[in-house]
Structure 1
């Protein structure tokens, strides 16, 4: 495999096409805009990193055509080079070339886009992504999780975390809802990006419990309160942790019944309450109200027995 810096136009003229990894982060129009400004003024300051399409297929990673977004089959993968790093810059480059059609000759963008194969051959693509996009570009948590969720051997728990982080849940909140703990942290995700799943991601005990309670909570309070930091999920986990072992057996049903029993006035209070200046915080007020409602609920359950 050649290691020289190459013009991407030369690769295209030789019959190659450009792809991107499905698990790479989504292209952000704001970043693309900034890259366009930089490319127009300075050109490409460093080459983008590419791999052959066949290498991604060998590592069970899906690739899509950079311009059409269409899936690329195993049979067609050899026709492509895949941008591992430099996706935003290449998108900016394409948009600048497209804009040339409406510009006078002296105004046209005429810079080249350069690419290079990685210098090291001993890294997997996932390891490469982890090093490039954590150590240099500092991906958001949802981007890191997404890059793992496309793997065929991805744990079910991580697939569910991916769904939540894509909706705006923090990793901490997602971990609390789905595992009743905060053991799934950024360190665990970093290791998973390199294809290694630590015990917190393998342990799916309680996952269905968390999903059931979360669905009821979303229906009652709306998703905004559920994903708001760790207030509601933290309160539920705290209640579980402080229960006797014999009470934990019915916790899921009890919590679902409790959440369902909260009337509309109290739901509105929990959704809209704000912290008091110089007094209790929003989280403290929510916890206080939930504790009051929980105590009342437990009394009513005992009375009905």
Structure 2
């Protein structure tokens, strides 16, 4: 791999003629975009990048593609400075970072720190490289592979990846909303790292039909491989549960939805919703304490006792 010092007029031609070229960002004369919905910036990862760049400089280039190429595949782009969605007639003025968001953000922050404090931590410019694509894969496929091989994905990353590659799919949009419900301060009653795929699948399909394999496949091949899902039903369950006092840090676990599914095997869905709607907060507090392999039976016992006592009164 070679690094070239190209003048401004020939920068893009040099890059396109030799895809292994590493070039400074300023030479490309383009704005920078992120793919909307790509991996969220992690404070931990960002801190590590900042510390590394302070000590060692930029060791790897940021991987980019042309904004028009990404937009032509239906990806939604946002300006990395303003976070505003970029209009289709403006995408040609951008390059898109498909690997290296933390690296780019860390350097940008250090550049601002240098200006404010008179320090000299940041590189004078950001080194970028157009993605090598020897087999002519789609931009969506490149994003999937670069992210999966640079940082091991957990289940929730597959939801994020699938949603960014299929930005108009209602199932993936809803799944990403649940993945993104992460605790940001003590006491907010949100899950530490969002809803896991296993729970999202149960809310949407009443089973384990939505998994990593299907999410990975739909990133490159489209949404036809996704399972059938009842999104209004999932939203109704969560809406009703939250209304009576259940919090997302509890609902993100399997216990509540496993009980709902089991009840729906013997009762109609609307009847089960009425059961939940009628719960008082003391009963909710009692249910929240129930965990373990026998949770479904234990929740049923609490709910049955509550309604029996209510009828007796």
- TM value normalised by structure 1: 0.81
Residue among 271, 288, 298 paired with 1:289:
298
1:35-84 Cα offsets, whole Å, 9 max, x none, are: 11111221222211110111112111111111121222222211111111
- TM value normalised by structure 2: 0.80
Tell me how far 1:217 sits from its aligned partner: 1.5
Residue among 231, 247, 255 paired with 2:272:
255
Is 2:85 the counterpart of 1:53? no
Residue in structure 2 matched with residue 101 of structure 1 by the alignment: 115
CA contact (8 A) 2:34 2:97 kept: yes
Tell me how far 1:89 sits from its aligned partner: 0.5
Residue in structure 2 matched with residue 203 of structure 1 by the alignment: 228
How many residue pairs get aligned? The number is 282
Give distance in 1, aligned partners of 2:101 and 2:249: 34
Is 2:53 the counterpart of 1:28? no
Give distance in 2, aligned partners of 1:128 and 1:219: 42
Is 2:219 the counterpart of 1:193? yes
Root-mean-square deviation over aligned CA pairs: 2.8
Give distance in 2, aligned partners of 1:256 and 1:98: 53
Tell me how far 1:300 sits from its aligned partner: 9.3
Give distance in 2, aligned partners of 1:98 and 1:297: 60
Residue among 120, 135, 158 paired with 2:133:
120
CA contact (8 A) 1:49 1:85 kept: yes
CA contact (8 A) 1:49 1:116 kept: yes
Give distance in 2, aligned partners of 1:302 and 1:109: 70
Q: The residue matched to 1:159 in structure 2 has which SS?
A: helix
Structure 1: gaps (5+ residues): 275-281
Q: The residue matched to 2:95 in structure 1 has which SS?
A: strand
Tell me how far 1:98 sits from its aligned partner: 1.4
1:167-209 Cα offsets, whole Å, 9 max, x none, are: 121111111112101111111111122243354x2413x4323
Residue in structure 1 matched with residue 22 of structure 2 by the alignment: 5
Give distance in 1, aligned partners of 2:236 and 2:53: 49
CA contact (8 A) 1:164 1:174 kept: yes
Call closer, same or farther: CA 1:226–1:252 in 2, change over 3 Å. Answer: farther
What is the correspondence of 1:56-67 to structure 2 with a 5 Å cutoff? 56-67=70-81
Which range moves more in the overlay, 57-66 or 189-198?
189-198
Q: The residue matched to 1:221 in structure 2 has which SS?
A: coil
Q: The residue matched to 1:283 in structure 2 has which SS?
A: coil
Call closer, same or farther: CA 1:40–1:265 in 2, change over 3 Å. Answer: closer
